[in-house]
């Protein structure tokens, strides 16, 4: 071989090129980067529409001007059951408040199980498990259940929580949505 070191350099550079391309094709993002805070926080809430189990239709459009708590839940998730007493208490406390609305959107459950659980637990805020509910779970970018989002009267998401809520968290979310927190 007439130019041995030149060929060594060639092989080295070609190897580096292949390595660079392979790595560039395979690097990925941090899978847990979005595990704490919703990407929608501080942004206008997505459009959504669901039908409550009593037949009432509610939507992002119909609730403009109100403070809305959207809670994603299902009948088999244990943390959802843990937060249920808090939601029941909060719902009862605000039953006569026309400016605040709680909507429970089922996620990953069956029609019958949702209906039964909502009836047994007197969840007047629960929506049907249907295509609209599925679209809402996608629109909010839910990762699991329970998840709760607070939407201000201006339609902006001002709070979100992954996991069971407490009364303190709900009150803080509402206060922030109403500009007093």
Please give the residue ranges that form the binding site for other proteins (CB under 8 A): 2-3, 5-10, 12-21, 23-34, 39-40, 43, 46, 75-76, 78, 81-82, 107-108, 110-113, 116-117, 120, 134-135, 137-144
Nearer to other proteins by C-beta: 88 or 178? 88
The two tokens of residue 92 are: 């009862």
Residue 129's CB is within 10 A of a number of other CB atoms, namely 24
Smaller CB distance to other proteins: residue 53 or 117? 117
Nearest residue (CB) to other proteins, 7 versus 181:
7
- Rounded to a whole number of angstroms, the minimum distance from the CB of residue 70 to other proteins is 14
Element (DSSP H or E) covering residue 180: none
| Pairing status of strand 157-162 against strand 147-151 | antiparallel
Q: Are the C-beta atoms of residues 167 and 94 closer than 8 Å to each other?
A: no
Strand ranges for 15-129 from DSSP E:
49-51, 57-59, 67-73, 100-106
For residue 143, the minimal CB distance to other proteins (Å) is 4
Inter-residue contact 153 to 67 (CB < 8 Å): yes
Q: How far is the CB of 122 from other proteins (least distance, A)?
A: 11
CA–CA distance, 121 with 123 (Å, rounded to integer) = 5
| CA distance linking residue 113 with residue 153, whole number of Å | 32
In the complex, the smallest distance separating the C-beta of residue 102 from other proteins, rounded to whole angstroms, is 20
- By beta-carbon proximity to other proteins, the closer residue of 25 and 180 is 25
Judged by beta carbon, residue 92 or residue 138, the one nearer other proteins is 138
Q: How far apart are CB 99 and other proteins at their closest, in Å?
A: 27
Residue 151 token pair = 């939407």
């Amino acid at each position: 071989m007439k130019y041995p070191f030149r060929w060594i350099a060639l092989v080295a550079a070609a190897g580096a090129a292949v390595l660079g391309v392979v790595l560039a094709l395979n690097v990925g993002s941090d899978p847990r980067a979005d595990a704490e805070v919703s990407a929608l926080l501080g942004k206008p809430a997505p459009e959504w529409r669901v039908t409550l189990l009593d037949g009432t239709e509610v939507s992002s459009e119909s609730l403009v001007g109100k403070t809305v708590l959207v809670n994603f839940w299902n009948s088999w998730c244990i943390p959802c059951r843990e937060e249920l007493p808090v939601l029941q208490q909060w719902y009862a406390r605000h039953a006569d408040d026309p400016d605040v609305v709680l909507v429970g959107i089922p996620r990953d459950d069956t029609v019958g199980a949702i209906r039964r659980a909502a009836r047994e637990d007197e969840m007047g805020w629960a929506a049907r498990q249907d295509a609209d509910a599925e679209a809402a779970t996608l629109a909010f970018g839910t990762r699991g259940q329970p998840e709760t989002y607070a939407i201000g009267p201006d339609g902006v998401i001002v709070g979100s929580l992954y996991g069971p809520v407490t009364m303190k968290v709900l009150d803080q979310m509402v206060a922030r949505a109403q500009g007093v927190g």
